[in-house]
């Protein structure tokens, strides 16, 4: 085997891209060829320098915002928002419809229906009810504070878990406060965030299920929610803000 050939094969070997037989062949060659062994050592040292270098640059938040604005402009508004005169009736009717349908359609624990392991342990109806109830006067927060160090300790002793609490004012999602709520028969923590003049409820409860990515949004005219599990906690963010905004907050919490 000539060393010109191995000089190139060395890179395939380094990158784990040689098939098993060529890889074994190259390893045998390495035992005899000091030049190649040394060249491999040099390449490995270069690679670890590159990987240790933190030369990777993350997209700045300002760029992320500009892109989201572009995407918003290139996205059609949901149908419900195009017919303002019908809007309220549509919202009420659709909530009733959603509640009725999901009461039957959503698998509930213990009913014998095969439960989707990725679904949250409460129904869409319960979730939307809880969200709407919170928007009635005086129901939004039990502790109103934009300070995560006030909101987090407030939950102490009121729940048997400690929900992660973070303020995202700098990213346009100021923390408004927190409250206790009941969802699917369980006590849950709720973090309330503001987005312009809208509110986002983030329901948090402990789970033993493995982590999931942020699931595709549940969309019902007027309200949407995102559900995910991360580090032993189940999250459900609900609001009437755009999916993009909701997703941005979900990602901030997920990080």
Give the interface with other proteins as residue ranges (CB under 8 A): 4, 7-12, 15, 17, 35, 38-39, 41-60, 62-64, 66-67, 70-71, 74-76, 78, 213-214, 216-217, 219, 243-244, 247
Strand partners, 219: 224
Minimum separation from the CB atom of position 77 to other proteins (A): 8
Token output for 11: 């890179």
Token output for 198: 């809208």
Taking residue 252's Cβ as centre, other Cβ atoms within 10 Å add up to: 15
Strand partners, 143: 178
Minimum separation from the CB atom of position 44 to other proteins (A): 8
**Of 60 and 137, CB closest to other proteins:** 60
Q: H or E stretch including 188?
A: strand 186-195
Minimum separation from the CB atom of position 174 to other proteins (A): 22
**Of 45 and 187, CB closest to other proteins:** 45
User: What is 228-242 written as a DSSP string?
Assistant: EEETTEEEEEEESS-
Minimum separation from the CB atom of position 34 to other proteins (A): 13
**Of 180 and 252, CB closest to other proteins:** 252
Token output for 239: 């609001």
**Of 52 and 208, CB closest to other proteins:** 52
CB 190 within 8 A of CB 179: yes
For residue 161, what is the DSSP state? S
Rounded Cα distance between 78 and 4, Å, is 61
Minimum separation from the CB atom of position 195 to other proteins (A): 16
**Of 1 and 182, CB closest to other proteins:** 1
Place of tokens 């990602």: 251
């Amino acid at each position: 085997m000539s060393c010109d050939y191995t000089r190139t094969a060395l890179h395939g070997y380094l990158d784990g891209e040689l098939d098993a037989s060529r890889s074994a062949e190259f390893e045998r060659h390495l035992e005899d060829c000091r030049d190649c062994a040394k060249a491999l050592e040099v390449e490995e040292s270069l690679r670890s320098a590159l990987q240790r270098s933190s030369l990777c640059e993350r997209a700045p938040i300002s760029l992320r915002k500009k892109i989201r604005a572009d995407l918003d402009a290139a996205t059609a508004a949901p149908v419900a928002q195009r017919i303002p005169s019908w809007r309220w009736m549509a919202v009420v009717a659709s909530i009733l419809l959603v509640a009725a349908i999901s009461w039957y359609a959503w698998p509930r624990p213990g009913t014998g229906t095969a439960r989707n392991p990725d679904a949250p342990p409460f129904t869409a109806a319960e979730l939307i009810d809880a969200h709407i109830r919170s928007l009635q006067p005086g129901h939004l927060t039990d502790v109103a504070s934009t300070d995560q160090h006030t909101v987090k300790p407030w939950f102490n002793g009121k729940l048997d878990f400690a929900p992660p609490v973070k303020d995202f004012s700098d990213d346009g999602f100021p923390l408004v406060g927190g409250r206790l709520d009941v969802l699917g028969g369980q006590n849950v923590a709720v973090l309330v965030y503001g987005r312009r003049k809208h509110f986002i409820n983030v329901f948090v409860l402990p789970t033993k299920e493995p982590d999931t990515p942020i699931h595709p949004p549940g969309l019902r005219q007027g309200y949407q929610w995102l559900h995910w599990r991360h580090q032993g906690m189940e999250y459900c963010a609900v609001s009437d803000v755009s999916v993009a905004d909701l997703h941005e907050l979900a990602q901030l919490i997920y990080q």
